[in-house]
Amino acid sequence: MVVVSSGKNFTVKTLQVFLLILSLLAVYARYHYLPSGEYSGKYNLEKTALSAAQDIFPKAYGLREIYSFQGGFEVIGSEGAPLGYLLPNTVQDRDIEGYGGPLKLFIGLNGNLKIKGIAVVSHSESPSFFKRLYENSFFEIWNGLSINEALEKDVDSVSGATMSSLAVKKSVRKTLSRLSRNEFVSKGKKTDFYEIVGIALFLVFSLLSFLGIKFFSGKRFFLLLASIVILGFMSETFLSLVWISNRARGEGGVFSPVFIIAFLAVSLSFFFGRNYYCGYICPYGALQEVCSRLPFKKKKLSKDALRFWHTARRIYIFIIFFALLMWSDIDLVYTEPFAAFSFPSAPLAVVLLALIFLGVSLFVPRFWCNFLCPTGQIMELFSKKVFKVPENAGKDN
């Protein structure tokens, strides 16, 4: 648990400077990754998406926006029948450049979520250079592959194409990586039987621990390891702003493992007045707690520092929701460290975010959980005490 001290180990002034630096970095990211012009908003998708769709789906007649994937569309035929999906690389990919600059492309998927084709709609390369890529069928090497097969495929560069072909491959890979983590693909994904059994057994373990059953509540370290392995790396089953946002749009199945976890988390937190999800489910919280058990000297936070950071979390979640209102193309995966469990396909920025707060947890236990996590802040809203739970039931923060 976090230790309160009257000492000024972490002064409020120092923390204010730190928050100011974070704010300046956020402003820089806003103008670097979401500039005005061609790359603002939704890439002006409406102006180019239909043309790209017709390149990949010759019978494409119209588009219908899908909200569970940033900037994505369902491709519609002339008689209204769905033909597949069209997904863009995002504004975060503009750091992936060919010889002449950033690339803008769309990936087409058929109804079975296999790659139908790739259309590059904007680039700064010489026409002859890209003509050679087309002549060598470079953009067809992913055709017919599933998302996971395409991620695993080792694509060799076309002769004479170096920087630009690598840029296309990186953009395709980043887009597919985001898609592999997105609930949009859940309807085409069969959940592994052993994965379901593992999640079910873990939930029983966590529930009995939460209720204060003596045998199970004394095995917290094993609960933490099970959360990290089963919910984190094995099944990537956890709550996040991305999932909550998708559910708010009506996306995702009612009987998915994440939905069941969310239902249990909200219900138990409401009736028992304790945050069931953060203390007994969250794999990143569990990973932080394991790190905090390592023999490093723990830092003490003053009462002023505690008040400051609790306020900072509310400010952080307010900024996120304000940004969503102002710019609908915000990619929420970058606001939390949870996608790091998708390593090695996770975005580098998210992996670094996760590692930073794991490092902080060596000195201040569960720092992300206690002071910044927006999902945790949302779960706290449901912690209204109706029934009493034993005081010694677990050690959630």
Question: Per-residue pLDDT tens for 186-224?
Answer: 544 445 678 888 999 999 999 999 988 888 878 899 999
Is the distance from CB of 353 to CB of 367 less than 8 angstroms?
no
Calculate the CA 216 to chain-centre distance.
31
- For each successive 10 residues of the chain (397 residues), what is the average pLDDT? 46 54 56 43 61 88 72 82 83 44 78 87 66 77 84 59 61 73 52 80 93 84 94 88 74 70 90 90 95 90 83 82 68 85 78 94 92 88 60 47
Cα dihedral angle (209, 210, 213, 215), rounded to 10 degrees? 20
The per-residue pLDDT for 37 is 40
What residues does 64 pair with on adjacent strands?
A: 74
The per-residue pLDDT for 87 is 84
pLDDT tens sequence across 273-325: 888 999 999 999 999 999 999 999 888 888 888 888 888 888 888 888 777 76
Q: Is 371 exposed, middle or buried (0-12, 13-18, 19+ CB in 10 A)?
A: buried
The per-residue pLDDT for 322 is 75
Distance CA 274, CA 285 (A): 15
- The pTM assigned to this predicted structure is 0.59
Measuring CA to CA, how many Å separate 199 from each of 38, 93, 216, 319?
A: 44, 34, 17, 33
